[in-house]
Amino acid sequence: MNGGVSASRASRARRTGSVVSDLSAILLVLIGIVGLWDDRPWITFICALVLIVVLVSRAWARLALTEVSYEPRLSRTQLVQGDTFSLSMTLENKKPIPLPWLRLREIVPSGLELASGSAGEIGKTFNGSLEISETLGLGGYERAHLTLDLKAERRGHYAFGPAHLRSGDIFGFYQVQQTLNPRGVELVVFPKPANLPPIPIPAFRPIGDTVTRSGLTEDISRPNGSREFRAGDNRGRIDWKISARQGAPFVRTFDPSVTECLVLGVDCATNIHDHWGIDTDVLENTISTAATLVTRNLKQGHRLGLVCNGTPLSGQTPPVIPPGAGKGQRVHLMNCLAAAGAITTRPIETLMRHHGASILPSGAAFLYIAGVIRPSTLDFLKHRQSKGNRILVLYTGRDAPPRDLGLAMIDLRAAFEADETAADSGRARHG
């Protein structure tokens, strides 16, 4: 995504410094007049020459950043954590007046690191962002390109800018600067899937504590008729026209789905006792587990939904995504995971109850991914299992998981430890 912006339109240029002040210019005029009065023309000549240089310098500096455009471009706007991409910066002087020097300062958000590039100076801001600085000269109607290769170290939604331009006259008497806010230069870094063992989807149990009456998830896009209302039926499926004709409540029925329906419950809480306590390793393990399941199951053609209670780092991603399939669904799901923050405002069960059957259809499998398990969430999961949903808990915490959950559970701690050991070995070999 690109975000070109003209310096002359972004904000008004501001004079930042001058060698010859306004008071000094007035003094030069007075000295020149005294030189004429005292019959010393050489003093007047020197003062006039300096004044001419000052006036030319001031006019040059005033026009320096007019008709100057700056356009940052990203080679990719969506990528996976650990990938590299290019940031190209184009500066163009669209007027005949040359710029003897032009200094660009661009801010690269924290979480993106420099891989390689041609920028002159690299620094760090107080919040860990990269500060890219380059000084160059531009002739009349000339264009310059700068390129940086960056690596996405952390998942997230990133916005570049603001950029700062500084220029002045050829003598260095005056300087002007401008702050540019190019719009639309945004990057989404998806979480990297973890190297996890195969995770089986819970199967239907014809004999056991499940009371479901169907063997597969009902697909609301495949209606097959209606039947009398039974206790426990969803009132939202009542067919009012048929009910009025029959004089008794009837509900619409649907054929079972031909594909598996899964819903991921991503619990971003990492400390059950301290709401503000954050364990970033546990959080990232939870998110990467969800990313792994998204990648694997959508490739198999499954319908996949998501409930995530992590406060989004940007306001562009919903916390609940109904089940769906295809490439577009993957982008929606990964966008939500990329933006998930560590602070949770609502438990998973609150979100689930609010959205009801639209997020967890009858018979769908629910894969709950969490580093800590609240008792209230556990009760909710048991209740959903008794209503016919297949439940699997995927534990990503640091401490040992609770015993005797009464639900199927897979402890992923050993898998993440092995993955981290392999990553450390790889870094040591390359180091």
pLDDT tens sequence across 160-185: 878 999 998 888 778 899 988 766 67
Q: Which CATH number goes with the domain that contains 373?
A: 3.40.50.410
Looking at residue 332, its pLDDT comes to: 93
pTM: 0.77
Same domain assignment for residues 226 and 340: no
Is the CB of residue 301 less than 8 Å from the CB of residue 262? Answer: no
Same domain assignment for residues 251 and 369: no
Looking at residue 209, its pLDDT comes to: 39
- Label residue 321 by pLDDT band (50, 70, 90): very high
Same domain assignment for residues 305 and 334: yes
Does residue 196 fall inside a structural domain? no
Q: Exposure pattern of 230-263 as b/e (b: 16+ CB <10 Å)? A: eeebeeebebeebbeeeeebbbbbbebbebbbbb
Same domain assignment for residues 268 and 392: yes
Q: How far apart are CA 107 and CA 112, in angstroms?
A: 11
Same domain assignment for residues 139 and 223: no
Q: Which CATH number goes with the domain that contains 4?
A: 2.60.40.290
- Label residue 422 by pLDDT band (50, 70, 90): low
Same domain assignment for residues 360 and 405: yes
Q: Which amino acid is at 174?
A: Y
Dump pLDDT digits (tens) for 324-374. Answer: 988 899 999 999 999 998 888 789 999 888 887 778 888 889 999 999 999
Same domain assignment for residues 291 and 251: no
In Å, the largest CA–CA distance within the chain is 118
| Residue-number span of the structural domain to which 27 is assigned | 1-190
**Considering only CA atoms, which of 60, 140, 148 is closest in space to residue 104?**
148
What percentage of residues in the chain have a pLDDT greater than 70? 80
Phi, psi of 35 (to 5 degrees): -60, -40
Looking at residue 410, its pLDDT comes to: 95
Same domain assignment for residues 246 and 270: no
Same domain assignment for residues 225 and 175: no
Same domain assignment for residues 147 and 277: no
Q: What is the mean pLDDT of the chain?
A: 82
- Span 370-393, average pLDDT: 93
Does residue 205 fall inside a structural domain? no
Looking at residue 253, its pLDDT comes to: 78
Residue 286 scores a pLDDT above 90: yes
Same domain assignment for residues 231 and 270: no
